Amino acid sequence: MPESTIVEATGISPWFVAEMARNVGLEAAVHAAGGRIADASDAEAADLLATAKRAGFGDRELAGLAGVTADDIRAARIALGLRPGYAMVDTCAAEFAAETPYFYSTYAAAGSAPEAPPVERPAALVIGSGPVRIGQGIEFDYCAVQAADTLRSAGWQAVMINSNPETVSTDFDASSRLYFEPLDPESVRSVIDAEGGLPAVVAYGGQTPLNLAAPLAAGGVELLGSDLEAIDQAEERTRFAALLDRLGIPQPEGGMAHSLEEALTLAERIGYPVIVRPSFVIGGLAIDFCYSPDDLIRQLAAATVVDPDRPVRIDRYLEGIEVDVDAVSDGELVLIPGLLEHVERAGVHSGDSVGLFPPQTVSEGDQSLIVATMERIVLELGAKGLVNAQFIVRDDGVYLIEVNPRASRTVPFLSKVTGVPMVELAVKIALGATLPELGWDGGLLPPPPFVAVKAPAFSTAKLRGVDPSVGPGMQSTGEVIGIHDEPRVAMAKALLGAALVPPRAGAAGALALLSIADRDKHLLPRLAAALRAAGYALAATPGTRSSLERAGFDARPVAKLGETPVDGQTAILDLIASGDVRLVVNTPTPRSGAVRDAAEIRLAATGEGILCLTAMETAVAAAEALDPAIAERLADVRPLDEWVPSGGRTPVVA
C-alpha cells in the first residue's frame, strides 16, 4: 500500500509513516538474509545487521526474523564490535555542562569513546521494577532504592538499570550511576559489558528482574543473594510442587498442565472452581478463577502461557484465611518479622487485600505451623535474602500456596511496622554477612503492642469504566497504613485513608444497595446491623432481601439486573442513577458468568461516584468504621517512631 494512501486514511504525519515503512523494509531484508545475518564474515549481512541495530531492532526480534537464535545475533555483533554506546542525559538542556550519572544507549554512538569510564570497584547492578503498570510499582521501587542505598553505605558502587521514569529509583542521585534502559537480557547484558562486568541484584524489583536471572546466569553474570537453582525451584511450578510433595507440606489439590487438553482433564479431575497460576508472573497477571471448562479455555487463550516450557499450575480453589509471610534468610537462620493476615477470603491478590498485623483470627497453633513450614521451605531452597510465601488457613489444616525468593509488595509495610530493615539485612547477607553478625536471630519476632492495618487504595473514582471487583489480579494503585492499640480503630484509620469508608448518613439518612452472594450471607446480619447503626436504610435484590428479612431487617425491594420490576421493586440501574444510593455492596456469585454479568452493576455505581465494595469482609469492616465510638478515636495520631520505637531493636551493623 502506498505511504500516501496511509497518510490520507489515517492523518498520521508523513514522516512517521515513512519511518514505519523503513522498518518494514528492514524486516523484509533481514528475513530474506536468513542465517547470513549471524555470519560476521559476510560483509553485506554485517552492514544490514548494523543498520537494523541502529533502527532499534533487538537481538531477539532479528533472530525471529532470520530463523536463528538471539545468542547467534549477539555473537555476530560482538565479533563485529557492534555494541551500543552510552550517552549522558543532558539534564541541563544545554544551558551548561551536565554532570549527572544518567545514561541511555544508542547505536549511533557505537564505537565512540565512552562518556564515562566504568564505576569504581566493588560495584553491583541493581535491576529495578521496569515498566509502569499496576502491580509493579512503588513497593518494589522502595526495595530497589533501599538496596542501592545499602550497597553504597557498604562502600559499593550501585549501578541502577530501570525503564520507569515515574520511580524514585530513576532519580539520578538514588544510585551511583543510572541506566535508563529496557529490562530485557540484551539491554542488561550490554550495560554489564559497558561497565566491565558486574554482579547483579535481581531480588528487589519484583518479578521482572527475577525473570532475568536465568539468561543473565547463562551469560556468566554472578547473582548476588539467592542463586539460580533456588529461584528456579521456587518459581517453576512443576519443581515447586514436587518439592512440597517430597517435604510433606500440604498444598491444594492440583497439578501441572503443559497443554490445553491436559488443563481441561486436570480441572475435571480435581473439580471446579479452580485457580490457574502461570509460572514467573507478578501482580496476579494471567492468574484467575475458572468455574467451568469454557472459563478455563477462555483464560488460557487470553493468557497465552500454557506450553511445554512454561506449564501452568491448576489448583482446586480453597476458601480460607490467607496469610502472607516475609522472611530474611542467610542460609542457616530464617528471620520472620511478622505474619500478615488477609481480611478477605483467599483468592484476593495481596496488593488488593486488607491486611492485619499481627493476625487477629489465626490461632497460635496455626501461626506456629506457618512459621515452622516457612523455615523448612526457605532452608530447603537454599534461599539467601528476602523470601515471601502465601498460606491458606482452614479448619482442615494449613496449606502452602507459593513461595517467591524476592522482595514482595508487603516488605515496605512490614519493615515500617516492625522496625526490621528487611532490605538492608538481605543486601548485607548477599554481600556475605550472616544474621547473627548483623545482630539478629532467626524465628518469628514477638508481636507489638498495637495492630497495624494495610488497606489498598484504588483509582476507580478517577478511572471510570474500570470494574472495581477484587480478585487474583491486582488493581490497586497505592496503600494506607492505620495503627492503633485497638484493632477496630486501626482498621477504621486505614479504610478511611484509603477512601473505602462510605459517607456518613447525616440527618437525612442514606441508602445502601446490597446484592450478596449466597456464600457471603452468613455475614449479612453483621453488615446490616452496622449500616443501620450508622443511619443507613437498606435496599436489596430478592435473594438478599429475603435473607435480611429472616434476620429481622427491612429492605427496599430491587429487581435483579435484566429483570422487569414487579411488586414495588425498583430497577437496579435506575436506583443507582437516582442519586439516593451512597454505598453498593455487590459480591459476585461463584459460578460461570456471574462475575462478568454483575460488572454492569459495579460500573454503574462507579460511574455515579458511589463507593462499590465487592468483598464482604471489607464491606463489614467499612460499615463498622462508621461507629461513632470509633470515630471519636480516629484523631489519635502519632509519628510512626512513637508506635515503632528504635529502642529494643538491635541495629544493623556493617
| Cα separation, 468 vs 140, whole angstroms | 23
How far, in Å, CA of 538 to CA of 553, rounded?
8
Q: What is the tens place of the pLDDT at every residue in 470-528? A: 877 788 888 899 999 999 999 999 999 999 999 988 877 899 999 998 889 999 999 99
pLDDT band at 283; cut points 50, 70, 90: very low
The answer on pLDDT for 583 being more than 90 is: yes
CB burial string 360-374: b at 16+ within 10 A, e below? eebeeebbebbbebb
Query: CA 259 to CA 309: how far, in whole Å?
Result: 10
Q: Does the model's pTM come out above 0.85?
A: yes
**Are both 474 and 325 inside the same structural domain?**
yes
User: Distance (Å, rounded) from C-alpha 542 to C-alpha 515?
Assistant: 8
Q: Which residue, chain included where needed, has cell 488493581?
A: 475
Confidence bin at 277 (pLDDT 50/70/90): confident
> Is 63 part of a structural domain of the chain?
yes
Residue found by looking up cell 532470520 in the block: 66
CA dist 353 and 597 (Å) reads: 23
As a whole number, mean pLDDT of residues 340-356 equals 88
Look at residues 52, 82, 112 and tell me which one is the last residue of a structural domain: 82
Q: Please name the residue that has the C-alpha cell 523470601.
A: 387
Least confident of 247-261, 376-390, 540-554, 597-611: 597-611
- The model's confidence at residue 309, banded by pLDDT at 50, 70 and 90, is low
Same domain, 359 and 461: yes
My answer on whether 473 and 553 are in the same domain is: no
Residue 132 sits in a domain whose CATH number is 3.40.50.20
Greater model confidence, 35 or 345 = 35
Residue 302 pLDDT more than 80?
Answer: no
Segment 167-187 mean pLDDT: 88
Model confidence at 654, in pLDDT bands (50, 70, 90)? very low
Give pLDDT, residue 476: 84
* H-type alpha helices, 498-627: 524-533, 542-550, 572-577, 594-597, 599-607, 616-624
All three cell numbers of 552? 429481622
Question: Are 55 and 163 in a shared domain?
Answer: no
Is 375 in contact with 403 (CB distance < 8 Å)?
Answer: no
Q: Reply yes or no on whether the pLDDT at 618 is more than 50.
A: yes
User: Are both 641 and 610 inside the same structural domain?
Assistant: no
CATH number at residue 387: 3.30.470.20
Which CATH number goes with the domain that contains 40? Answer: 1.10.1030.10
pLDDT category at 94 given cuts 50, 70, 90 is low
pLDDT at residue 526, as a whole number? 96
DSSP string, 604-628: HHHHTT-EEE--HHHHHHHHHTT-H
CB 128 within 8 A of CB 169: yes
Domain-embedded: residue 305: yes
What average pLDDT score do residues 373-402 get?
Answer: 95
User: Which residues lie across from 479 on neighbouring strands?
Assistant: 456
In a domain, 210, yes or no: yes
303 versus 133: the higher-pLDDT residue is 133
CA distances from residue 408 to 129, 143, 151, 389, 404 in whole angstroms, order as listed: 12, 9, 20, 9, 8
Q: Is the pLDDT of residue 308 over 60?
A: no
- Cis peptide leading into 358, omega within 30 of 0? yes
- Rounded to whole angstroms, how far apart are CA atoms 32 and 229? 40
Q: With a cut of 80, say whether residue 535 has pLDDT above it.
A: yes
- For position 302, which CATH number holds? 3.30.1490.20
The band of 111, judged by pLDDT with boundaries at 50, 70 and 90, is confident
pLDDT for res 232: 94
List CB contacts of 462: < 8 A, sequence separation 6 or more. none
647 has pLDDT over 70:
no
Three-state secondary structure call for residue 512: strand
C-alpha pair distances (Å), 312 with each of 277, 288, 300, 488 = 6, 12, 9, 40
Within a domain: 125: yes
Virtual CA dihedral for 267, 273, 278, 281, nearest 10 degrees? 180
pLDDT of residue 253: 87
Higher pLDDT, 96 or 72: 72
Query: What is the C-alpha separation between 333 and 378, in angstroms, rounded?
Result: 9
Same domain, 519 and 614: yes
312-316 vs 254-257, strand pairing mode: antiparallel
Q: How many contiguous H segments (helices) and E segments (strands) does the chain have?
A: 25, 24
Range of the domain at 184: 86-224
Chain mean pLDDT for the chain: 88
Q: Within this chain, do residues 337 and 453 fall inside the same structural domain, yes or no?
A: yes
Residue 10, CA distances (Å) to 1, 5, 19 in order: 13, 9, 15
The three cell numbers of residue 297 are 479455555
Residues 438 and 551 in one domain: no
- Total domains in the fold of the chain: 5
Which of residues 206, 224, 242 is at a domain's end?
A: 224
Q: Which residue in this structure is represented by grid cell 549522558? A: 88
Are 340 and 309 part of one and the same domain? no
Average pLDDT over residues 108-130: 88
Say yes or no to pLDDT of 206 above 80.
Answer: yes
Please, which pLDDT band fits residue 340 given cuts at 50, 70 and 90?
very high
Between residues 599 and 2, the one the model is more confident about: 2
- Specify whether 491 is located in the same domain as 349: yes
Query: How many Cβ atoms are within 10 Å of 296's Cβ, its own excluded?
Result: 26
The DSSP bridge partners found for residue 160 are: 126, 178
Whether 338 and 472 map to the same domain: the answer is yes
Looking at the DSSP bridge assignments, the partners of residue 581 are 511
Residues 471 and 331 in one domain: yes
What is the DSSP secondary structure assignment for residue 223, as one 8-state letter? B
Of the residues 39, 65, 82, the one at which a domain ends: 82
